[in-house]
Amino acid sequence: MRAREYLSHSQKICWKKSPKEYMLRYVWEKKQFVTKEMKFGTLVAELLEHGKLSGDLLLDLVISKIPHFEVNDQEHRTDLKIGKNIVPLLAKMDTRKKNFKAFKEYKTGKIPWTQKKVDEDPQCTFYATYCYIITGEIPKDIELVWIPTEEDENGNIKVTGDDPVIFKTTRSMEQIVMEKADMLKVWREIGEACAKELL
């Protein structure tokens, strides 16, 4: 018995950070604290997904400059098969090509992203592996798009007005292999923990 019948990136990261937090969030469904930065990120994601305007001229101008593909923020499922083991996966990339050969992730925030941080980003690695499982090829077109934000005098989060910063990144076959092994490991660990907790 499991709290979720699939493994997502957010689950994987939560488990690796704190199994206790995972159980509270996914098994006992304790409400997660949402920061104002997270709320703003969600707003931007929704505007991008639906192609809507916010009414904030500066925000709408910045969003108009954000590149995207034909599939936006859409859930998709596939299975990772390693020997006799199957790990059901769920991915929800911010934007991707229909053929899974390219994707982009959007990040808002005050702290600047760097190329090193992007190259080591676990979410991009998870999604690159997901695409590889489907296509048999590592995506050659992976980008992380950072939308710079700041706080106004009232403590509200807003865009700075600067253009989005686009980072191109790649993933190696070694990273893909290691990620697949980590997916299986985490899936097993979560299953064992849920079995004990839910019996």
Q: What is the domain-level CATH number for residue 18?
A: 3.90.320.10
Judge whether 2 lies within some domain: no
Top pLDDT among 134 and 4 is at 134
pLDDT band at 130 (very low <50, low <70, confident <90, very high): very high
Which of 19-33, 82-96, 129-143 shows the lowest mean pLDDT across its residues? 19-33
Judge whether 184 lies within some domain: yes
Q: Domain span at residue 51?
A: 9-198
Judge whether 145 lies within some domain: yes
Average model confidence (pLDDT) across the chain: 93
User: 168 in helix, strand or coil?
Assistant: strand
Buried b (16+ CB within 10 A) or exposed e, 11-22: bbebbeeeeeeb
Residue 33: per-residue pLDDT: 72
pLDDT of 3-32, one tens digit each?
Answer: 789 999 999 999 999 999 999 999 887 877
pLDDT of residue 108 exceeding 70: yes
> CA geometry: angle at 27 spanning 22 and 28, to 5°?
105
Quote the number of domains for the chain. Answer: 1
The residues, any chain, with a CB within 8 Å of residue 27's CB and separated by 6 or more, are: 3, 194, 197, 198
The pTM for the full model equals 0.92
Element (H, E) at 23: none
Judge whether 14 lies within some domain: yes
pLDDT of 47-68, one tens digit each?
Answer: 888 888 888 899 999 999 999 9
Judge whether 72 lies within some domain: yes
Judge whether 192 lies within some domain: yes
Top pLDDT among 49 and 158 is at 158
Judge whether 167 lies within some domain: yes
Residue 1: per-residue pLDDT: 64
**Residues of the chain with pLDDT > 70: what percent?**
98
Residue 98 is given by DSSP the state T
Judge whether 148 lies within some domain: yes
User: 39 in helix, strand or coil?
Assistant: helix
Of 31, 74, 29, 26, the residue nearest 49 (C-alpha): 74
